[in-house]
Amino acid sequence: MVSEKKEPGIWEGFKAFLMRGNVVDLAVAVVIGAAFTNIVNSVVKGVINPLVGAFGTKDLDHYSSCLKAPCEMNGAGEVVKGIPIMWGSVLSAVLSFVITAAVVYFLMVLPMAKYLARVAARRAEKEGTKEVMEITELEVLKEIRDALVAQRGSAPGEGQPGQSREG
């Protein structure tokens, strides 16, 4: 009987795929992003839309223009006649996107970039001082060697093992 290598099953492959760091990080980011989107949408609908409504006559989501006049709506808000362009809801979505992007940039991306720059600067500083220390240590060792060579040259036999200094 010839034994064949058994390929990993679908479950093992799927499990290995899920346990990769990238997939787990991505899943966490999606969940946090969804929760954050709800917060931003609430801010837009609860704060920005009423502020726009205070300056205008209605909520931001209700601003529209009529492409084919006259636009008529029934009591439920459904279009009965005409073709309305709901630019208020598009503006609301754009505001949600801009607020989300600004918060992500200023609270996550910018601080992380500054942190990584500081870490890189510290690492470069450590490597720079390490090189300076190595050069300095090397120079000191060369000076010691030169001093020992000079000492041997001026008084032959001195400093060599097994010989006394007294003559």
The pLDDT of residue 167:
42
**Cβ–Cβ under 8 Å, residues 94 and 41:** no
The pLDDT of residue 118:
92
Query: pTM of this prediction?
Result: 0.49
Which domains can be identified in the chain, with CATH numbers?
A: 10-119 (1.10.1200.120)
More reliable by pLDDT, 149 or 127: 149
Q: What share of the chain is helix, strand, coil (3-state, %, to 5)?
A: 70, 10, 20
Q: Which residues contact 61 (CB under 8 A, 6 or more apart)?
A: 45, 49, 86, 88, 89, 92
pLDDT tens, residue by residue, 111-128? 888 998 999 888 888 877
Any idea what DSSP says for residue 58? S
pLDDT tens, residue by residue, 22-73? 777 777 788 888 888 888 888 877 887 778 777 776 677 777 788 777 878 7
